[in-house]
Amino acid sequence: MLADLRSAVLARVDGPLRGTSPADIVASVAALVACVAGDQPLTGIGVSLGGRAADHRIVTAAPYLGWSEPVDLGGLVTTATLVPTVVDNDVLALARATHWFGAARGTDRFALVTIGVGIGYGLVVHDRLVDSDDAGVGLVAHLCLDPLGPLCARGHRGCAEAMLASGKIRDAVALGRGGALTYAECLELASSGDPVAARVVGDAGRALGRLVAMIANLTMVPTVVLAGDGVRLASVAADAVAAGLAADRDPAADPVRVEIHPGGFDEWARGAAVTAIQSYTTPGGSGLVHR
């Protein structure tokens, strides 16, 4: 995605990865950058991925790519493109975009929860993103939301990943109905009143409401933004989300503002762009220092 300094999207392009090795990833990124930018000079490049990054350069773990050893992805992409490159966890990058240009613009305290293949979490307090070496580990994904719920791959019963991940919802509906389905089809079936899909999606919605309440109770943020590829769950199961939130929130507490950000997969790329924008516009790159 090509963006200006206000993160307005100027152009976008998609392409398959050539492979998952560091060399393949760098070659894929360099080719996409050349395609989307053309002859336009670039000030910076931002790359985000599901994993952990140190110093906005070194990828220390990237499970979706099968990387378990450190990779200087920022340095490699800089060498391949001749453009300064910053690298970060995808949820942290999306939280930056949400804070500066998105649903939480002007808000100095909020939490971001992403729903999709996995469950992500970002937090902004006192107008600063809370950054940590643990970003990308998926700590929030394994909070228990239903002690009687299904199991995740680590054996946790009813954790956020087991209840909310799009693949888990799809598998639960397919098991009940006896056939393979896509995540989108599961949500459509739930909307139309299918008993199996409605039960699974309703349970997921209540779990999501409980997660929002838990985050708000512990951090005392007034706003929680929901985003990610699977965020339509929050709209389809809106009543269940509200019920789960109310059940675990003291009625004397201030209402939690829940913002559903329906942006698609492009928002992850936009988050990477905003990370590059912050690196360029903040003196000394201080806006990207770990806190």
Q: Each residue of 191-228: pLDDT tens digit? A: 999 999 999 999 999 999 999 999 999 999 999 999 99
Enumerate the H helices of the chain as residue ranges: 22-37, 73-81, 90-100, 160-164, 166-177, 183-191, 195-219, 232-236, 238-247, 266-281
Q: What tens digit of pLDDT does each residue of 30-71 get?
A: 999 999 999 889 999 999 999 999 889 999 999 999 999 999
The residue whose two tokens read 């309440």 is 213
CA distance 267 to 262: 9
Q: What tens digit of pLDDT does each residue of 114-136 get?
A: 999 999 999 999 999 998 777 77
CA distance 189 to 175: 14
* C-alpha closest to that of 164 among 193, 122, 206, 215: 206
How far apart, in Å, do the first and last CA atoms of the chain sit? 28
How is the chain split among helix, strand and coil, in percent rounded to 5? Answer: 45, 20, 40
The model's confidence at residue 283, banded by pLDDT at 50, 70 and 90, is: low
pLDDT at 286 over 80: no
Rounded to an integer, the average pLDDT of 153-160 is 94
Percent of the chain with pLDDT over 90: 85
pLDDT at position 290, please?
A: 35
pLDDT at position 284, please?
A: 54
Q: What tens digit of pLDDT does each residue of 92-115 get?
A: 999 999 999 988 988 999 999 999
The residue whose two tokens read 């970003």 is 135
pLDDT at 24 over 80: yes
Rounded to an integer, the average pLDDT of 135-146 is 87
Average pLDDT, the chain: 92
Phi–psi pair at 138, nearest 5 degrees = 85, 40
Q: Does domain 103-260 have CATH number 3.30.420.40?
A: yes
What is the three-class DSSP state of 286?
helix
CATH architecture of 2-88+266-288: 2-Layer Sandwich (3.30)
pLDDT at position 49, please?
A: 94
Write b or e for each residue in 105-136: b if 16 or more Cβ atoms lie within 10 A of its Cβ, otherwise e: eebebbbbbbbbbbbbbbbbeeeebbbeeebb
Cβ-based neighbour number of residue 18 at 10 Å: 13
Enumerate the H helices of 116-265 as residue ranges: 160-164, 166-177, 183-191, 195-219, 232-236, 238-247
Q: Residue 138 in contact with residue 161, Cβ under 8 Å?
A: yes
pLDDT at position 248, please?
A: 96
**Where in the chain is CATH 3.30.420.40?**
2-88+266-288, 103-260
Q: Is 251 exposed, middle or buried (0-12, 13-18, 19+ CB in 10 A)?
A: exposed
